[in-house]
Structure 1
Amino acid sequence: MTLRFHSSRLSPHLKKIKKQLKKKRVQTITEDSLKIEEQNLIEKIRTETIKRNRNNITRTEAYFHFYQQFPEIHWAFLGHMVSRNGGWNMTDLKGELLTKLLPKKERENFFSFLERGNWLIFQDVYPQMLLYKESIKRQMNLFYLLPIFGVSKFMKVVWDYYMEEKEDYLLAFALVVNEQSYLENRVIQNSFYKKNVLESIEFKLQELLSLNQILFPYKSNRKTMLMGQTINHFASLHERILLGKRLYHLLFDSELYPAFFKWALQQPHTGSRKDFWPQLFNNVNESIPGKLYKRRIKNCSLKSGSHRIFSPPLQFAWKDVHHDPAEKGDWYKDWRVVHYLEKYNEKVNGDIKNDYCETLEKIELSLVAKETFF
């Protein structure tokens, strides 16, 4: 795990969290020692998590449904919007462009990488959300049950703090740190994914997959607008955490948030990029089979007379995946990780529409070159 901690002084509220994190003793808890009522709650949460963790569509919907019930849990909306991007990246691998550029095995490996990460995050964070829901319902802190679900000590401390202080941004940052740290050894440092995805030539040419661009769509005067962020070092845990903080600030910008939320409310997630840009993408393949590809996109618009780019819905692109259980172990080792919970005061520039359009044009150029010379 590669983290770069700041040496600045901690604010008073983070000192409280630091104090709890530095306590060596970790309270052990087993299901057998719990009351029947508690055991029933645990089983209920496990069942609901499995039900919602079927695929990217069900996960993404679950995040948004929870956020509508509990809008104070900001991460749920951030998780929803980022999960939409995960779905778009998955269907890109079965879309019109990448099926012509990448071998089948490479595309399957990339999907496995994306799906495993999406699945792992959900099975870790959704039980936390459901425990919060029950805590509010019963008017008591139920986060002593977190260890039963394999959730990090770090989040136990933060949730306990949140239940008293209700600092929404701090909880959101903590969940960003937790989920990215949780993925680090299980996916990013996983030997299979390192060899077959992260170190592959295709991944280093990230523009082919748009994996380095997270898009937040919205409508303005009936036009599709895109805001977002680009990450250039996806394999860096430190960079992914900072990306999450920037995305949070962008999503909850006082001026933009209403438009983002309205778009998410009105547009169901299908996994097709038609969801946000029907002028460029279609979930039906309009192209003529066997015909050489011609460039269609210029300056974020479709050239006159051109077919839209095929971007299939997820349900038709990939089958549901049966996952092995999550690897055990707590990522938390160093209290200095609390520095990541400090407020992010820098202004975030979210202009990304032109960058994304340039990405599409680069992919088209690569495809035309491949068909011409190979």
Structure 2
Amino acid sequence: MEEIKNNPLSLQWSLEDFTPASVEDKESLVFMRESVSFWKDGLHRFRKNKIAMSALFIVFLITICCFLVPSFYPYKYEQQMKGSERLAPMQYSKTEQKQIDAGEKVFPHLLGTDQNGRDYMIRVLVGGRVSMTVGLVASVLILVIGSIFGAIAGYFGGLVDMIMMRIVDIIYTVPDVLIIILLAQTLKFPLEALASKPGFAWMQKLGSNMISMFIVFALLYWVGMARIVRSQIMVLKQSEYVTAAKALGAGSGRIIFKHLIVNCIGTLIVTTTLQIPSSIFTESFLSFLGLGVQAPMPSLGSLASAALNGFQTYPEKLFAPAFLIFIIILSFNLLGDGLRDAFDPKLKQQ
């Protein structure tokens, strides 16, 4: 029997296998994890994502270039220089060359000039600023309207949810380009009258097309956000803290805004970040069709549209705005993917 017990191939249990574990053995099996908040944990996992951090750095760099550089750039986006039409990158006009020969300092045209003698680099930077501003403002409008609409529909449910969701289905069928054209023509004269008043001169620069685009974003593009928030609210409203809030006498408005939407903040941030490149692409597409900002204010889409006429002779005039659109949209998409991986509990790695 002793030989059978000591045989390593034996399937019989030994009494030594049932010896109680010591205190040291128990402590060695305990793995205590530091208690962290939702935001701290999400930011920690976000910083570990090298692709997302690189995208964030690129977005920050583009923002600095588009919003700060034009303020001290030696040329203005509307400034026309005679004799400097369609210059190649780093090329000087005859007048500028004479100034250089005379000992004066002339800042080079980094991307050349357009057909009107305007520096192309500053126009691309200002165009990027316009596109990013439209994307950010449109995303904020979509976030506010879509989250409130979806939260109300998801919380009350029943007949209220059915009516509100049918409204969403109807809005999905509305052609946005047609609405923008109609609004631009309808708002043209009222906006011009309003822009002539003190304090509203900024509306003259944007024009009726751009303002109508903001209105369309507020009217049509929030439906996707509303559906996402509705699905989240329908799950969260079954939670115990919602039942406790109702038992304490909290009203529907307080429960929606103080409890439910707050607990959807991770999803809202991710969805909004992914909505920014979509809004930028929509603005660039509409500006390419001539439905964006009015001249001389540039946009990346309008610059690309104007560069098509001389594409074979001056291809860099198209590559510059197209490349900037590509970089902006790609960076925001990668940033949104990184935020989703960091703040979505379902994708959290154990």
With structure 1 as the length reference, what TM-score do the two structures score? Answer: 0.28
Higher fraction of helix: 2
